[in-house]
Amino acid sequence: MPVTARKTARPRKQPVWKQVDTPRSLSATTGMQHGHITPPKPGEEINVSFIDKDGEKWDFQVSEGDNLLDIAQANDLEMEGACGGSCACSTCHVIVEDPDMFDKMEEPSDDENDMLDLAFGLTETSRLGCQVLMSKELDGMVVRLPSMTRNLQASDFQAKK
């Protein structure tokens, strides 16, 4: 299905009695923080690398407990994370390069496995980035970002550019 450009909404003039000086939020809840990671303390750095769809490798030093989605987004790598890390999509799909490293990881939950079944290009070492928390055991892990993701909310495939 072709992607159509979204029309830009025309600015509407509000009547004077409705104008407010400060913008108001439409939500009463705190916004979720995406791409929030904690800088590692000296001596406690954990190494992780991402290979993007162009084959370029990006190396990072991160803290224990950071997840792969947040790490990718904090470093402007292209990982969508459509559900905000709530294990309700497959747009944070990553492929762990080394099967031995994959075996060191905690087992995926049933929810993660259900979402992985919907991932484009599923492999034996696929995981959802938002569900993988970095730990000392995963020091040196390399993950590959798939060339495409399947976003069922958009009922579409999105090629990563």
Query: Which chain residues interact with ligand FES by CB under 6 A?
Result: 69, 81-83, 85, 87-89, 91-92, 115, 128, 130
Beta carbons within 8 Å of 59's beta carbon, 6+ residues apart: 47, 48, 49
Nearer to ligand FES, 45 or 148 (CB): 148
Nearer to ligand FES, 89 or 141 (CB): 89
Nearer to ligand FES, 35 or 40 (CB): 35
> Dihedral (C-alpha) 52, 85, 3, 117: value to the nearest 10 degrees?
80
Q: How far is the CB of 89 from ligand FES (least distance, A)?
A: 4
Tabulate helix, strand, coil % of the chain (nearest 5). Answer: 20, 20, 60
Q: How far is the CB of 108 from ligand FES (least distance, A)?
A: 11
